[in-house]
Structure 1
Amino acid sequence: MPDPVEKLSRRILLKRLAGGAGLALAGSHIGDVLAQSVAPAAVTADKLRPLLPGGVMSGDVTASSAIVWSRTDRPSRMIVDYSTSESFKRFERRVGPAALDSSDFTARIDLTDLPPGADVFYRVRFQDLVNDKVFSEPVTGRLRTAALSADRPVTFVFSGDEAGQGWGINERFGGYRIYEAMRRESPDFFIHSGDQIYADGPLQSEVRLPDGTLWTNLVTEPKSHVAQTLDDYRGAFAYNQLDVNKRRFMAEVPFLVQWDDHEVRNNWYPGQQIGAEEKRYQTRAISLLAARAKQAMFEYNPFRINPVDPEQVYRGFQFGPLLDVFMLDERSYRGPNSPNRQTQLDRESAFLGAQQSAWLKQSLKNSKAAWKVIASDMPISLIVPDLNPDVPKGTYEAWANGDNGAPSGRELELMDILRFIKRENIANVVWVTADVHYAQATHYDPSRAKFTEFKPFWEFVGGPINAGTFGPNELDMTFGPELRYVSVPKDNPQNQSPAAKQQYYGRAKIDPASRTMTVSLHDLDGRSLYEVKLDPEA
């Protein structure tokens, strides 16, 4: 491994990853693949081939389609073969878009007409646009389409918060070990609950831990300072793909992703101007930074782009009769962070915004699935103050405002959604989230609440994937939360490094016979810490 204090340039990183990442993921049949379909590349010197430094990834999967994503290092055309057989004896081929510098050489293909409920194997190559006889080595992946019948279980994992608080890829520690633990669960998909990157969290090559040992980070130029340019944000996303555990996971498990604050800057909201107290930024307009960050996020993730609104992050997915998933966007439409005590729901107190709230309610009402999972990038009742140096004290970042009283501020929007669920008798709604950097299971019941017109429900918190451990946070009692599990003690030191092994993810599994959803919370090596079985409402 390199000297831990070495700051790796783009060129050095690409050399390190050349071929190795792809070959590690490609599987034992690469020789057959080359012999069958890419003979021109088989005689090409490796140094002349396009490289795939980020591996491959799938996402936004449905019963009949999935996005396949990859990135190369030069102008090249994406080619994807896919098959229901790992041997690729029979396969379909899609010639995709050109990967150009305008997208940081990322590219994606929406595979359609896939068989439902099937394992689909795919391999990605890039054809050099300067010399069209030169191809990259193939890199293979696997995805699972949603089933149309309820004859098999549905399993998914969820977590968030990656490369935060100065804790990056430490190869001596084993990198982002939690991705390997989640991969062993063999889930149908992964919900990334946001804070995919810490654009505002530079990395240092070494950090001294309280016990005197050194945490050593892999450091790249974009991760050595806060992100402000489009290339900075792109580099932050590319950084996480340097981790071998993540690349292996990406190649086997489809992603459903959302964003939160650290894709841009801590606790940001639209229209914000960064104050003079924050010395690290020359660009002060958050809306400009957010536009750059969102472009990079779409480039580096397997989003299915909405043709009506190409920047829309919120969306829903159907996984057959057992499960529907609703991915929220709690950044793009929120009002300013404030004391959060407004007495009416308007633009100032918005969190999801009127259009997204209406979409969520109608989608829940239309759902025929046994379970409805709402992926919220921020928790419901945990109090999250905005502690940025350029905002007033007493300002809040999430739904809760800490007054333990009747709903006010952003809680008004949540109250409206919960009331709608009860009035429409929508059964079996579960919330999953991250953001606070520890794991928690919370049960909500109107008998304990200040507002009572809602059905009892559960919320589960995962994370961090690889970031500082914090918490536990204070609870706001407006919606009657009761803690059933908390992964860290009250006196837990803040910003614990991943070496403390306080990194967490959640797993949910729905049994097709009983339709029971079993939710468990796990540590970074996969050990189960808490489990509860949720019986479906009749």
Structure 2
Amino acid sequence: MSFSRRSFLKSTAATGLVATGFAGAGGLAMPALSRAASRPVISHGVQSGDVTANAGMVWTRADRPSKVMFEIATREDFANARRLPPLNALPDSDFAVKRMVGDLPSDQEIFYRVTLADLNDVNATSQPMVGHFRTAPTSKRDVKFVWSGDTVGQGWGIDRDRGGMKTYATMVQHQPDFFIHSGDTVYSDGPLKEEVELKDGTMWKNLVTPEKSKVAETLNEYRGQWKYNMMDENVLAMSREVPTFFQWDDHEVVNNWSGAKDLSDDDRYTEKNVPLLSARAARAFHEMTPISYTPAEPGRVYRKIPYGPMLDVFFLDLRSYRAANSDGMQETLDETSQGLGAEQIAWLKRELLNSKATWKVIACDMPIGLCVWDKHKDVKRVEAVSNGDNGSPKGRELEFSDLLRFIKTAGIDNTVWLTADVHYTAAHYYNPDKAAFQDFDPFWEFVSGPLHAGTFGPNDLDGTFGPEVKYVKAPTKEQGGNLPPSMGLQFFGIVEIDGATEQLKVRLMDSGDTELYSVTLDPKLA
């Protein structure tokens, strides 16, 4: 049967298969499917993620102990549906469940339908809810994906009168194969106020839940950060239509967290133990997203997602294994200077070397050549990679110099770096001829974000790896920082790989869908 992804969004909403509201405090509307109090409710939509040529992760959440039933089909009408063994949604996971669906045909539209049965009354079932994704190809066809980061930061939450998180709606209009969320997926350290007065005299009116009225400390409060974002209709619509590949950064726990983080003088926190907070945050992150899991290390974030013969995506984790933030001037790479850690570096080298894909996209949760600082009690420490001295590699730069040298020596071609974190958009070309460290092949790094947070920047560049700014869009000095989403300086990027030429095109976009900059890269083919 014929199929339009855009019509799928419209049809599922029109037929009531997808809920667009939630029951709760604050006068929120009850969706039609939840009005029968005896029936379980799919409380926060459906999601998919980490899709490959023959598998994909799917996720949902119930409002009570439930048996969760999944059907998988390649037809929108589910005429050829395959029923999977049910899962149980129980309190220990806050009634969230996810599963890897395998044995799927490649390059195929996949529809999945979720229904709940109340474990206390199996005859009481929910209305079904439908989601969609497309599996990766095994032959060369056009591939398109989007990326960005930073959701609900700096006090800017869901203002329904202003259309909610509109950048998500803009991204889904491009009908991407998938979306990379590059970190700061939630702001657990960013409580919301009900109203914020803007410079133009108007009022920003946040939807506020109990979990978003304070900093997150308990496991349930960390879970509440995710549930808040899933109250936005734009996020829900994208999640049911487009798979999201998640990575994390710092605000999932607390700003700039590392072994050096000290909460002793932060009166917002009664729990000062940062390792305990990060453990709770990590559990919520893995419970509330369709990220795949590694049985030997269930909390692992770094991984490779192969998406056809032209693309491998490598997700890095600069947060979980980092040494304490410092001045970044260590001369030796060891456990005191690492950002990625030896195990992750070895994995990345091995996977890059084994990759047969034309393009190797490295999704890094922090930029390489931009100076990002962790300031505390008048002490300035390195938060990202660069230490700002423009000289030979030191501190975390040592890992990246070693990695870039390896990529050159091993003859690994067509690497592109994508990142977010700094709350503006930019295109950087790393030129060894202009670098203090020169033993690497030139490469591009593209920065995008925020999705729905305050806009800042631009940051200073460090010359160690010779970054050249080819484009930047950030607030002016007159505008200042922490600009609200209503100012329009919210950004995402589009990557398009042409199936015929294998060229990779990057477009930097704003929330109004204006193209700000684009560049087409020619692949080096064997």
Q: Is the 1:272–1:286 contact (alpha carbons within 8 Å) kept by the matching residues of 2?
A: no
1:43-192 mapped onto 2 (5 Å cutoff): 46-150=36-140, 152-192=141-181
Distance 1:111 1:17, change over 3 A: farther
Distance in structure 2 (CA, Å) of the matches to 1:510 and 1:15: 42
SS in 1 for 2:42: coil
Deviations 1:324-368 (A, max 9, x none): 000111111000111001001011110000000010111100000
Query: How far does the alpha carbon of each residue in 1:195-219 deviate from its partner, in whole angstroms, 9 at most, with x for none?
Result: 0110000000000011111011000
The match for 1:230 among 219, 226, 231 is 219
- Distance 1:16-1:100 versus aligned 2 partners, 3 A rule: farther
Matching residue of 2:413: 427
Which residue is equivalent to 2:201? 212
Does structure 2 retain, via aligned residues, the 8 Å contact 1:266–1:388? Answer: no
Give CA deviations for 1:203-255 in whole Å, capped at 9, x if unaligned: 00000011111011000000000000001100011000000000000001111
For residues 122 and 394 of structure 2, the distance between their equivalents in structure 1, rounded to whole angstroms, comes to 61
In the alignment, which residue of structure 2 is the partner of 1:503? 490
* Residue 436 (str. 1) matches residue 422 (str. 2): yes
Distance in 2, Cα, partners of 1:374 & 1:433? 9
CA distance in 1, matches of 2:29, 2:325: 43
Q: Give distance in 1, aligned partners of 2:72 and 2:496.
A: 27
Q: Deviations over 1:113-132 (max 9, x none)?
A: 00001110111111110100
Q: Does 2:403 match 1:413?
A: no
- Residue 323 of structure 1 contacts residue 372 of structure 1 at CA under 8 Å; is this kept in 2? yes
Task: State how far apart, in whole Å, the 2-side matches of 1:240 and 1:488 are.
Answer: 25
1:241 partnered with 2:215 = no
1:89–1:445: structure 2 CA closer, same or farther, 3 Å change rule?
Answer: same
Match of 1:3 in 2: none
Whether the aligned pair in 1 keeps the contact of 2:22 and 2:30 (CA below 8 Å) is: no
Counterpart in the other structure of 2:338 = 350
Residue 489 of structure 1 and its aligned partner are, at CA, apart by 4.8
d(CA) in 2 for partners of 1:202, 1:174: 20
Q: CA offset at residue 272 of structure 1?
A: 4.1
TM-score (ref. length: structure 1)? 0.92
| Cα offset, 1:83, TM superposition | 0.7
SS at match of 2:291: coil
Identity of matched residues, %: 49
Which residue in 1 is equivalent to 2:507? 520
SS at match of 2:340: coil
Cα drift, residue 108 of structure 1:
1.1
**Counterparts of residues 22-41 of structure 1 (less than 5 Å):** none
Q: 1:449 aligns with which of 432, 435, 438?
A: 435
Counterpart position of 1:197: 186
1:367-394 Cα offsets, whole Å, 9 max, x none, are: 00000000000001110011245xx522
Deviation of 1:17 after TM superposition, in Å, equals: 4.7
Q: Give the corresponding residue for 1:289.
A: 277
**SS of residue matched to 2:121:** coil
State how many pairs are aligned. Answer: 504
Tell me how far apart the structure 2 counterparts of residues 17 and 317 of structure 1 sit (CA, whole Å): 38
Shift of 1:52: 1.5
Structure-2 separation of matches of 1:324 and 1:275: 39
How far is 1:182 from its partner?
0.6
| Partner of residue 386 from structure 2, selected from 400, 407, 414 | 400
- In structure 2, the partner of 1:4 is none
C-alpha distance in 2, partners of 1:19/1:127?
Answer: 17
**SS of corresponding position for 1:316:** strand
**Offset at 1:446?**
0.5
Pick aligned residue for 1:384 from 372, 387, 394: 372
Aligned to 1:361, the other structure's residue is in SS state helix
Q: Is the 8 A contact 1:333 1:351 kept in 2?
A: yes
Look up the SS of the partner of 1:495 in the other structure.
coil
Matched to 1:11, the amino acid is G
1:88 Cα deviation from its structure 2 partner? 0.8
For residues 298-345 of structure 1, the C-alpha deviation after alignment (integer angstroms, 9 at most, x for no partner) is: 010002210111111110011111100001111110001110010010
Moved over 4 A (4+): none
Partner of 2:347: 359
Q: TM-score by structure 2 length?
A: 0.94
Offset from partner CA, 1:16-38 (integer Å, 9 cap, x none): 35346x9xxxxxxxxxxxxxxxx
Q: Does 1:314 align with 2:314?
A: no
> Cα RMSD (Å) of the superposition?
1.6
Q: 5+ unaligned residues in a row in structure 1: which ranges?
A: 1-7, 23-44
Over residues 90-115 of structure 1, what are the superposed CA-to-partner deviations in whole Å (9 max), with x where a residue is unaligned? 11011332111111110112111000
Would the aligned equivalents of 1:67 and 1:108 in 2 still touch at CA under 8 Å?
yes
Q: Which amino acid is 1:55 matched to?
A: G
Q: 3-state SS of the aligned residue for 2:416? A: strand
Partner residue, 1:302:
290
Q: Is the 8 A contact 2:58 2:98 kept in 1?
A: yes
For 2:27 and 2:122, the matched residues in 1 are separated by 21
Question: Which residue does the alignment assign to 2:31?
Answer: 18
Distance 1:433 1:224, change over 3 A: same
Q: 2:452 maps to which residue?
A: 466
CA apart distance, 1:285: 1.2
Go from structure 1 to structure 2 and tell me whether the alpha carbon gap of 1:365 and 1:422 turns closer, same or farther (over 3 Å shift).
same
* Contact 1:61/1:146 (<8 A) preserved: yes
For 1:358, what is the secondary structure of its paired residue? helix
Cα 1:208/1:377, change in 2 over 3 Å: same
Q: Which runs of 5+ in 2 are unaligned?
A: 1-20
**TM-aligned CA deviation for residue 273 of structure 1:** 5.1
Looking at structure 1, the residues matched to 48 and 499 of structure 2 have their Cα atoms a distance apart, in angstroms, of 25
Aligned with 1:148: secondary structure? coil
**Distance verdict in 2 for CA 1:117–1:56, change over 3 Å:** same
Partner of 1:38: none
Contact 1:18-1:52 within 8 A present in 2 as well: no
Q: CA deviation at 1:279?
A: 1.4
Tell me the secondary structure at the aligned position of residue 47 of structure 1. Answer: coil
User: Distance between the aligned counterparts of 2:380 and 2:24, measured in 1?
Assistant: 46
Q: Does 1:368 align with 2:352?
A: no
Q: Secondary structure at the match of 1:420?
A: helix
1:493 Cα deviation from its structure 2 partner: 1.3
Kindly provide the CA deviation profile for residues 279-298 of structure 1, in whole angstroms up to 9, marking residues without a partner as x.
Answer: 11111111000000000000
Distance 2:418 2:24 in 1: 39
* CA drift at 1:526: 1.7
Q: SS state of the match for residue 320, structure 1? A: coil
Matched-pair contact (CA < 8 Å) for 2:52–2:136 = yes
